[in-house]
Amino acid sequence: MYPLARPLLFALDPERAHGLALRSLDLVWRCGLRPLVARRPAPLKVKVLGMEFPNPVGLAAGLDKNGEHIDALAALGFGFIEIGTVTPRPQEGNPRPRLFRLPAAQALINRLGFNNAGVDALVRHVEASRYRGILGINIGKNRDTPNESAAADYLYCLQRVYPLASYITVNVSSPNTQGLRDLQQRNALERLLGRLRDAQERLGSRAGSRKPLLLKIAPDLDDPAIDAVAEVVVRLGIDGVIATNTTIRRDELEDEPLAAEQGGLSGGPLYGPSSYVVRRLRMQLPRKVPIIGVGGVLSGADAAGKVAAGASLVQVYTGLIYRGPGLIAESVDAIRRRKEAPSSTGE
């Protein structure tokens, strides 16, 4: 069905098409017509972060920022869902237009700027959802909160979502909130994550259940910066890393008229840089610290490539825009073949 719907969606403004596609998925789910949209993959169970995932292919944060479409998205066959990024207070994000397609490169540029309805709205939506699978919630800071006070925003979101999340992701890597990426610098990162780790332990003791805390990083870090992130993750006991967010680089896009648009680039051109970060992190981190690989997954081969690079789990987003929900089962099947191959060591 998606090959028929894509030309219509691509004829619309990208942000309008995004909303229409999600509303259409909700309708399909409510009417029980999911088999017309996507084939659910056969189970490929994997144990990561102390949880058993039905398969290793998940939805990346950003597609369902407010957690309004969890049930419909889960019905497509994802092994896990990540929603957000959410901030303490609602915010509109950056002015429109702020989302751009680059079809020749199978890429997107976005400068959305953490547009979301606020953490209280997200909590209400999650509570109303029927989904009982693995749910990640991605947290950030409001754009008008200075970095010196950022920890308070992250702590507030952590406290609000902790009872509902399977894991929580700390997003310090979006290029669309001014100064946010400065929080990836070693000293700032240690201060922020140290406070969040303390809160994680307190909340876990109080709830009787410790929820994993993950860090999402940028693909634009150089090797010393990647290594510094890995050192902080190990020292503070962060449970995992998501690699990566979007890139500000525009390599090999000289002929794309929209390449000059500001914002984060995702899709095909991100595959190489993000996979490099996965490989570098895998060399620096102990095996017990899992990596979720995301960025440029447009085919099953790409998903299997993330696993080959060292990822335990894979997430998709832009690939869904260009390939549709069929990408999910294709990716699971490709990872299965890799794991079953005689030369594969598995994950």
Q: What is the CATH number of the domain that holds 148?
A: 3.20.20.70
Give CA–CA dist 230/90, Å, rounded: 32
Domain that holds residue 262: 2-337
Give CA–CA dist 259/251, Å, rounded: 10
Domain-located, residue 346? no
- Condensed to tens digits (0 to 9), the pLDDT of residues 264-301 reads 999 999 999 999 999 999 999 999 999 999 999 999 99
- The tokens for 285 are 């981190």
CB atoms within 10 A of CB 286: 8
Give CA–CA dist 121/73, Å, rounded: 18
Bigger pLDDT: 342 or 170? 170
- Condensed to tens digits (0 to 9), the pLDDT of residues 9-28 reads 999 999 999 999 999 999 99
**What is the pLDDT, as a whole number, of residue 254?**
86
Give CA–CA dist 202/20, Å, rounded: 41
Element holding 206 (H helix, E strand):
helix 186-207
Domain-located, residue 225? yes
Domain-located, residue 154? yes
**What is the pLDDT, as a whole number, of residue 347?**
45
Q: How confident is the model at residue 252 (pLDDT cuts 50, 70, 90)?
A: confident
Q: How confident is the model at residue 343 (pLDDT cuts 50, 70, 90)?
A: low
Give CA–CA dist 34/69, Å, rounded: 14
Domain-located, residue 344? no
Domain-located, residue 345? no
CB 307 within 8 A of CB 272: no
Domain-located, residue 53? yes
List, in sequence order, every beta strand (DSSP E) within 51-175: 51-53, 57-59, 80-86, 99-102, 107-110, 135-139, 167-171
Calculate what percentage of the chain has a pLDDT beyond 90. Answer: 94
Q: Is 275 a catalytic residue?
A: no
From the candidates 173, 174, 275, 299, which is the catalytic residue?
Answer: 174
Domain-located, residue 139? yes
SS3 call for 140: coil
Element holding 46 (H helix, E strand):
strand 46-48
Domain-located, residue 343? no
Number of domains in the chain: 1
Indicate yes or no: pTM above 0.85. Answer: yes
